[in-house]
A and B are shown apart, each in its own frame.
Chain A
């Protein structure tokens, strides 16, 4: 099997496992599955009809197949709370969550990489101390605490940014809407980036220290190459594939961060939807949101794997085996 087909199969396996887990979570919980999937406030006839729709009167195997079919077609049922299809609710919110996590990832990644490289280049310097401290803090600072502090500082005491929401009410039109949206997004993204860049910088630093001390870099230095060429063309290019792995590894955490961030800042997004669904015991909605978050993670894992393969010639090019 080639690298690619192996990775793809792995991703499919994870996806299937997520599906199975989701199925089991909401059906094997304590109590009657009917109450967990059908709103208890419905009339008996409505309950009947709904449990038939979910196949709750059929054997478990058949239920699973039905569930598979529904989930793969994004048919998560109706939300108990709004009565709208869960998928519509999610589709409205997904872009916001992606915008939040995506821009935080880009910002934290850029900051972390720049600082990590700088720290590795000047061992024992001020930048290195900053990186080490930021790294330790990013493993011990609860995201919501930092966010609450930022809110207190920049939304209450010194009101530069809005306290809550994704857009102002009422929302402005046209270009002003985009500006307003970004204004609301700024503090959440900044907080996620502040939390994320430390561990990123620490990782980059450790990786670069190792690479800068390795034999290829010794030879490159013997070649009389200028410092930037050594640093970026040789060292950083070598570090790139594992860095892409780091993206892969940081995505689940980032989504977890998004759930909390959306809650703290009252943003419109999948994470807060999940929380509200769980709190409101809106099980179809919670199941759909969880599945969607897991799906985003699995998809980005596949993409990161792909990027890793493309960045590392040892995987991309394998002529001797005739690929």
Chain B
């Protein structure tokens, strides 16, 4: 279980301060899918960065994060890299289209986490990368390809393969489907859902698409202006929204669905 308490995240650019997270209390269970929804700028991506403790320059974070009882906020940068990032919690990024390093092959980028975190030899790691690609529906031989040789959807599949490489317990997916066409979106979500289910991972799906969230998530977390305004099992929230903002979001969704 990931439990965040009183998370406060501030960005500072020049003399301007932005409070992106304003006292967030939230838990994400293992082996289940939790969707974090909220409008643009509500702090969804900020929550993801905070959970990985990957702050940009000038940002300050306070509060505590415990993952399966371990206090993450107490870890040094070195310990975070060694035993937390990617091995416990991995990530599929909002713009995965541009998230790969353009000058390295997919195989190299997947294999390196296996070499570093799992101690595999380069050869073993490459072979394992191939089978990971196959698991996500890409040819295993594509380990030799460069990111620019793949389409957006294919890149996103490769990103999922990379995220699963070290068998993490939780997978953060920050808007994994934006900028994809509807059919590819559905494919990616189904892929994420089935792979995490099969491996018993906790999936934290960040999205502004409430329809998508309600279709796949076991639990919903609603963010507004850096605060959690509603949280609970999906059906309960859909049936009786606990906060006017959730109700408003739902209203917008119903109106969309009702359109002929």
- Does B bind A? yes
Give chain A's interface residues, CB within 8 Å of chain B: 123, 213, 215-226, 229, 233-234, 237-238, 240-241, 311-314, 317-320
* Size of B's binding interface in residues, CB under 8 A: 32
Query: Would you call B28 an interface residue if the criterion is a C-beta within 8 Å of the partner chain's C-beta atoms?
Result: no
B152 to chain A, nearest CB (A): 14
Of A223, A238, A320, chain B has the most CB atoms within 10 Å of the CB of: A223
Q: Closest residue of chain B to A236, judged by CB?
A: B103
Query: Would you call B177 an interface residue if the criterion is a C-beta within 8 Å of the partner chain's C-beta atoms?
Result: no
Partner of B113, one of A123, A224, A237: A224
- The digit string for B137-168, where 1 denotes a CB below 8 A from any CB of A, is 00000000110110000000000001000000
Residues of B within 8 A of A318 (CB): 149
C-alpha gap A318/B116 in the complex (Å): 30
Contact A222 B148 (CB under 8 A): no
C-alpha gap A313/B149 in the complex (Å): 10
Residues of A within 8 A of B101 (CB): 216-217, 220, 234, 237-238
Known contacts: A222-B54, A225-B113. The answer to whether A320 contacts B103 by CB under 8 A is no
Query: Would you call B82 an interface residue if the criterion is a C-beta within 8 Å of the partner chain's C-beta atoms?
Result: yes
Residues of A within 8 A of B248 (CB): none
Q: Closest residue of chain B to A124, judged by CB?
A: B57
Contact A314 B146 (CB under 8 A): yes
- The digit string for B48-63, where 1 denotes a CB below 8 A from any CB of A, is 0000101011000000
Residues of B within 8 A of A313 (CB): 102-103, 105, 146, 148
C-alpha gap A71/B65 in the complex (Å): 74
Residues of A within 8 A of B82 (CB): 224
Residues of B within 8 A of A241 (CB): 103
Residues of B within 8 A of A233 (CB): 104, 112
Provide a sorted-by-A list of 25 A–B residue pairs whose CB atoms are within 8 angstroms. Answer: A213-B56, A215-B93, A216-B101, A218-B93, A221-B54, A221-B85, A222-B93, A223-B85, A223-B86, A223-B112, A223-B162, A224-B82, A224-B85, A224-B113, A225-B113, A229-B116, A238-B101, A238-B103, A311-B103, A313-B103, A313-B105, A313-B148, A314-B148, A317-B146, A318-B149
Q: Is the interface of A mostly helix, strand, loop or mixed?
A: helix
C-alpha gap A213/B54 in the complex (Å): 12
Known contacts: A218-B93, A221-B54. The answer to whether A226 contacts B103 by CB under 8 A is no
C-alpha gap A136/B81 in the complex (Å): 37
Contact B116 A222 (CB under 8 A): no
Of A217, A219, A221, A319, chain B has the most CB atoms within 10 Å of the CB of: A219
A224 to chain B, nearest CB (A): 4
Partner of B103, one of A219, A312, A319: A312
Partner of A238, one of B54, B102, B117: B102
C-alpha gap A178/B148 in the complex (Å): 49
Q: Closest residue of chain A to B117, judged by CB?
A: A224
Partner of A216, one of B87, B90, B102: B102
Known contacts: A215-B95, A219-B93, A237-B104. The answer to whether A224 contacts B80 by CB under 8 A is yes
Partner of B57, one of A123, A217, A223, A319: A123
Residues of A within 8 A of B95 (CB): 215
C-alpha gap A320/B151 in the complex (Å): 11
Residues of B within 8 A of A217 (CB): 101
